[in-house]
Amino acid sequence: MLADEHSTSLFKKAHGLTFWEMADKNDSFNQSINNAMVSDSNFLMDIILRECGDVFLGINSLIDVAGGHGGAASAIAKAFPQMKCTVLDLPHVVEEAPTDDHVSFISGDMFKYIPPADALFLKWVFHDWGDEDCVKILKKCKEAIPPREAGGKVIIVDMVVGSGPNEIVTRETQVFFDLFIMFLEGIEREEFEWKNIFMQAGFSEYKIISMLGVRSVIELYP
């Protein structure tokens, strides 16, 4: 596949394939990505569960969308053993996932279908995609969850530019990530940009919980 001369993806310009196409075709690259995501979850989920674990209260079933090898889902399931936790990811990811007594895995494409659950969890997903694709994912999310009065919500862990401590290291890190995510043609969003895609997808309300410097937890309601 030849790199698209109109693409701004630095990864595709360098390799002739998108980041996701490379993961599908190269086993060692795919494994490296999944290992990195598990390491990130091992670090982050302890903090999320300690600082804002209330976002998971009352949820009976949760799907970790694009959850890789289940690092985040496993941590949530252990903290809330009554919750049924499932990971949805692409076939080449799921087939290499380790066995986990607390988490089940489903092979699928979040752009096409997300199985129903009380809540959906998406960590470091939306910044990988442009607005149009994010709206598509969010519409599939909205179809998968019950109404708000029945407990339905989407829990997002991602960057909200301008949120968090007003410190130089936070601002520098946000700028760094804004440049870094260009390799995927991704976007780091300010609150008004998040609100725009939420409203386009048909959601009614959201709440941002700033934590861990550059990352936030967003509760999104239908």
pLDDT in tens, 91-120: 989 998 988 889 999 999 999 999 999 999
Q: What is the CATH number of the domain that holds 38?
A: 3.40.50.150
In this prediction the pTM is 0.85
Which of 96-100, 133-137, 195-199, 201-205 comes out lowest in average pLDDT?
Answer: 96-100
The pLDDT value recorded for residue 35 is 79
1 is a domain residue? no
Distances (CA, A) of 8 to 132, 186, 213: 16, 10, 28
pLDDT tens readout for residues 34-83: 777 777 777 789 999 999 999 999 999 999 999 999 999 999 999 999 99
Expressed as residue numbers, the domain containing 87 is 10-221
Structural domain count of the chain: 1
Which of 20-29, 146-155, 168-177 comes out lowest in average pLDDT?
Answer: 168-177
Q: For residue 142, which amino acid is it?
A: K
Helix ranges (DSSP H) in the chain: 10-15, 19-25, 27-52, 71-79, 91-94, 131-144, 168-180, 191-200
Annotated catalytic residue 15: no
5 is a domain residue? no
Q: In the beta sheet, which residues pair with residue 87? A: 64, 105
